[in-house]
A = this chain, B = another copy of it.
Amino acid sequence: MTNIHDIAKLSGYSAATVSRVINQRGYVSDKAREKIKSIIDQMDYVPNDVARDLSRVKTYNIGVVLPYTEHAYFNQMLDGIMSAAFKHGYRVLILLSNYEQDKELEFLEQLRRRAFDALIFTSHGLPLTKISKYLRYGQIVCCQDPGEVQIPAAYTQRYETYVEAFKWVKERGYSRIGLMQNRDYHVSATSEKTIAAYSAVFSKMPDPQMIVNEVMTYQDGYQAGKYYHQLKQQPDFVFCNSDDIATGFRQFYLDQKLSAPDFMGQEHQLPSQLLNFSTIDHQILKVGHAAMELAISGESKIVRIPSRFINRA
């Protein structure tokens, strides 16, 4: 591997001058520049990025923690993240967690070891208090309401929209509402908001029997349909976790030649458009973008982005 010293030697100048030529900074005579450039071309030389990173104490890499990629939510997030990253010349490292705390910890340790300049948690299994302890080692951004915890965040303001959606459900006369959730509301801020909005609108907590957790895919939606169907008191409306999941739910009933309860989706995906049901656009693209901006700038502020109920009554 030919390095900057080789170029220095061959050109008759010092490594410092070669460095100046490469980075176009400081004073360099035309003569020196010419000579050095010709040697660089001749030797087919390029600087080594790792050495550069070490010297600059900066990698231009940002780690992005995702539970999984199959989910539309995380795809949109990634799109927003990537567009902001590209804008500033940063690269994105994908870090799959599957919500495993061990893995999340490992990623935090990688941040500590300076493997990347900052870390974005699009979602997390670890408690935020634990995550925030690593803020001293580098910038960290999370994508949910951090509540009391002091940590930079970009997230969708879901509560108001959930209230709007549940009011719409209530006005249409539904009373036994099924709820599908990604994770239990004890560990998920999103689920917690859902429950809170439900309670505010219906003036009571949802029936635990009506809640299905760990719903993440089309298949899970299908299974949830099965579950709801075998209940003595079936729901008359189901609040699904995503549009994809909603179609899984619907499919179960179709396969049984039954008519499904009414339902709505989330994430504003293709299926709600295709099958014309209501949904919520959580504007995840914007959230991703904002998160990356925070990661790069190092600011420790909070960015809230409103979501949008899409009424397809």
Complex contact A247–B274 (CB within 8 A): yes
Given contacts A50-B50, A54-B54, A91-B95, 8 further A-B contacts (CB under 8 A): A49-B115, A50-B54, A61-B61, A70-B79, A75-B75, A78-B94, A91-B93, A91-B115
Given A93-B92, A95-B91, A46–B247 Cβ distance below 8 Å? no
Interfacial residues of chain A within 35-73, with CB under 8 A of chain B in the complex: 46-51, 53-54, 59, 61, 69-70
- A90 → chain B closest CB, angstroms: 11
Q: For A274, give the chain B residue with the smallest CB separation.
A: B247
Chain B residues with CB under 8 Å of A61's CB are 61, 93
Interface residues on A, range: 35 or more
Cα distance A92–B94 when bound, in Å?
A: 6
Q: For A51, give the chain B residue with the smallest CB separation.
A: B54
Interface centre among A78, A115, A251, A273 (most CB of B within 10 A): A115
Complex contact B49–A113 (CB within 8 A): yes
A96 CB within 8 Å of chain B: yes
18 contacts between A and B (CB under 8 A): A46-B109, A46-B112, A47-B113, A48-B54, A49-B113, A50-B53, A50-B54, A50-B59, A50-B115, A75-B75, A82-B96, A91-B93, A91-B94, A91-B95, A92-B93, A94-B94, A247-B270, A247-B274
- A109 → chain B closest CB, angstroms: 7
Cα distance A251–B54 when bound, in Å?
A: 54
A267 CB within 8 Å of chain B: no
Cα distance A201–B94 when bound, in Å?
A: 43
Q: For A53, give the chain B residue with the smallest CB separation.
A: B50
A145 CB within 8 Å of chain B: no
A174 CB within 8 Å of chain B: no
Cα distance A94–B47 when bound, in Å?
A: 22
A244 CB within 8 Å of chain B: yes
Chain B residues with CB under 8 Å of A49's CB are 110, 113-115
Interface centre among A50, A75, A114 (most CB of B within 10 A): A50
Chain B residues with CB under 8 Å of A91's CB are 93-95, 115
A218 CB within 8 Å of chain B: yes
Complex contact A270–B50 (CB within 8 A): no
Complex contact A50–B114 (CB within 8 A): yes
Interfacial residues of chain A within 245-299, with CB under 8 A of chain B in the complex: 247, 251, 270-271, 273-274
A202 CB within 8 Å of chain B: no
Complex contact B113–A48 (CB within 8 A): yes
Given A54-B50, A94-B92, A114-B48, A75–B70 Cβ distance below 8 Å? yes
Chain B residues with CB under 8 Å of A244's CB are 270
A227 CB within 8 Å of chain B: no
Chain B residues with CB under 8 Å of A251's CB are 273-274
Cα distance A43–B131 when bound, in Å?
A: 20
Interface centre among A82, A247, A274 (most CB of B within 10 A): A274
Complex contact A113–B46 (CB within 8 A): yes
